[in-house]
Amino acid sequence: MRPEITLHNTATRQKERFDPIDPQNVRMYVCGPTVYDRAHIGNARPVIVFDTLFRLLRHVYGPDHVTYVRNFTDIDDKINATALSRKEAGAAGTLEDLIRERTDETIDWYHADMDALGTLRPSSEPRATEFVGQMIAMIEDLIAKGHAYAAEGHALFRVRSYTEYGALSGRSVDDMIAGARVEVAPFKEDPMDFVLWKPSTDDLPGWESPWGRGRPGWHIECSAMAHELLGERFDIHGGGNDLQFPHHENEIAQSKCSGHGFANVWLHNEMLQVEGKKMSKSLGNFFTVRDLLDGNWSGGWKVPGEVIRFVFLSTHYRKPMDWTDAKAREAEATLRKWAKAVEGVEPSGETDPQILETLADDLNTAGAIARLHTLFAEGNYPHLLSALTLMGINLNALETGAGARRDEVATMIEALLEERTLARQAKNFARADALRDGFAAAGVVVKDTGEGAEWELAPDFDPAKLEALK
């Protein structure tokens, strides 16, 4: 019997039982990155949140019965600007070649960084450039139905033609005009009308269309890709709450006016702060996922991907999350302690029912982590391992701060401890003392007991210093 999943639907502002349209093909779309630079840690929050939901859905409905689509926006002014600057600096190739080179590079970075956080690759990762034809067709349909119009090489959506505009974000169109900064252009019928297609100059990438050579607006991209890959209606659409308006509001309007049912459930995660403040470059608290992994951030130490994930999951997705150095260090200490305890333990063949029930309750990852602590305290290591696997935390892959896997480090430490024992037996006290001092310098805390040596890694563990002892 499947557990009942409940999710907080932004569209209805209440928690609802999740009933998929087709349990044999549960479908989810999440807005992905614009690939012009490294992903910052705020970008990582929706990735981890919806990866956890993806894992839960796969567990409940079966891995072959869940389709997860997350797009790459590879049509963007920032991407164009980077490619133009490279071309002006003398880079070889056409502008289109340089744009493709930049987006390929950034997508590779994105995959490497998100893989380090233990996230699964989605079922499909479409690039916007691959679906321009579908976007043009959707815009033509909207114009034919009176929901959009062409003007001066642009195509624009006629917002007031969709009477339910603003329902997702809970705003009226007039309130939005009064309170929002909207682009005022002489070719717009209404200040709130948004761009579906815009012209491209000769030095920018473009596609031929009924409105001239140009490129699509951002909002139409997701509508076209979601429809093409998931159908007329699908189960879940997700993203950060910063996308709720205008991006998701615009997606709904253009998709429903095209005659598509679109998403049944809308999920939005809250934003991220750093040490209690909004992340910004001016405050010096802005850093990427790669900065954390490599130690190039204000904390100054290399944070393993599993630790980053654990910190993120410790806060419910609908609550603001505060990244702090203290939280990260505490998470690392916890995971190292658990990793040491479960060495040689096989995971349970079943998932702890309380973990599953808690995750199924609107993805309550904070409650699930509280249950993980209980399982550890009870010594129920097989269930602990199975629950961690469901939540995407692999203790065997836990990096120790410089890319060294914990299992590799453990093997090295055990071998050096054995060497220390042999040195003592041979009265080679110089070597034994060198190993003792070397362990301390490397951040390996060794305790000699009647049953042998016990060890654990301190927060300042340095695998390079440990390697130097060999």
pLDDT digits (tens, 9 = 90+) for 198-255: 999 887 889 999 999 999 999 999 999 999 999 999 999 999 999 999 999 999 999 9
CA–CA separation, 199 vs 46, rounded Å? 32
Poorest-pLDDT segment among 263-272, 399-408, 443-452: 399-408
Q: In terms of C-beta density within 10 A (0-12 exposed, 13-18 middle, 19 or more buried), how is residue 281 classed?
A: exposed
Would you say residue 341 has pLDDT above 70? yes
| Average of per-residue pLDDT across 144-163 | 97
Would you say residue 402 has pLDDT above 50? no
Q: How many angstroms separate the Cα of 125 from the Cα of each of 31, 106, 160, 221, 224?
A: 10, 14, 33, 13, 14
Question: pTM of the prediction?
Answer: 0.86
CA–CA separation, 288 vs 272, rounded Å? 13
Average pLDDT, the chain: 92
The torsion angles phi and psi of 380, rounded to 5 degrees, stand at -90, 70
| Average of per-residue pLDDT across 439-466 | 86
Query: Residue 137's closest CA among 74, 224, 200, 195?
Result: 224
Secondary structure letter of residue 216 according to DSSP: E
Please tell me the predicted confidence (pLDDT) of residue 66.
98
CB atoms within 10 A of CB 28: 26
Poorest-pLDDT segment among 231-240, 413-422, 455-464: 455-464
| Average of per-residue pLDDT across 176-180 | 58
Please answer whether residues 169 and 245 qualify as being in contact, where contact means their C-beta atoms are separated by less than 8 angstroms: yes
376-385 long-range contacts (CB < 8 A, ≥24 apart) are 376/337, 376/338, 376/341, 380/352, 381/341, 381/342, 381/345, 382/345, 382/346, 382/347, 382/348, 383/348, 383/351, 383/352, 383/355, 384/338, 384/342, 385/342, 385/345, 385/346, 385/347, 385/348
Extract the tokens encoding 131.
């679906």
Query: Residue 468's closest CA among 426, 416, 419?
Result: 416
Top-confidence range, 215-224, 280-289, 339-348: 215-224
Confidence of residue 406 (pLDDT cuts 50, 70, 90): low
Extract the tokens encoding 260.
């598509």
Please tell me the predicted confidence (pLDDT) of residue 86.
86
Please tell me the predicted confidence (pLDDT) of residue 405.
65
Please tell me the predicted confidence (pLDDT) of residue 180.
54
Q: At what angle do helices 218-230 and 132-144 cross, to 10 degrees?
A: 100
| Average of per-residue pLDDT across 11-29 | 97
> Which residue has 């999440």 as its token pair?
30
| Average of per-residue pLDDT across 336-363 | 93
Please tell me the predicted confidence (pLDDT) of residue 177.
63
Query: Residue 24's closest CA among 252, 235, 165, 251?
Result: 235
Poorest-pLDDT segment among 89-103, 117-131, 138-152, 397-411: 397-411
Q: Going by C-beta distance under 8 Å and a sequence separation of 6 or more, which residues neighbour residue 176? A: 166, 182, 192, 245
Would you say residue 182 has pLDDT above 70? no
Please tell me the predicted confidence (pLDDT) of residue 154.
96
Query: Is the pLDDT higher at 256 or at 281?
Result: 256
Beta strand pairing call for 154-157 and 148-151 = antiparallel
Type of residue found at 255: S
Poorest-pLDDT segment among 35-49, 133-147, 270-284, 391-405: 391-405
- Distance between start and end Cα atoms, the chain: 54
Provide the percentage of residues in the chain whose pLDDT is more than 70.
Answer: 96
Please answer whether residues 47 and 119 qualify as being in contact, where contact means their C-beta atoms are separated by less than 8 angstroms: yes
Would you say residue 121 has pLDDT above 50? yes
Would you say residue 258 has pLDDT above 90? yes
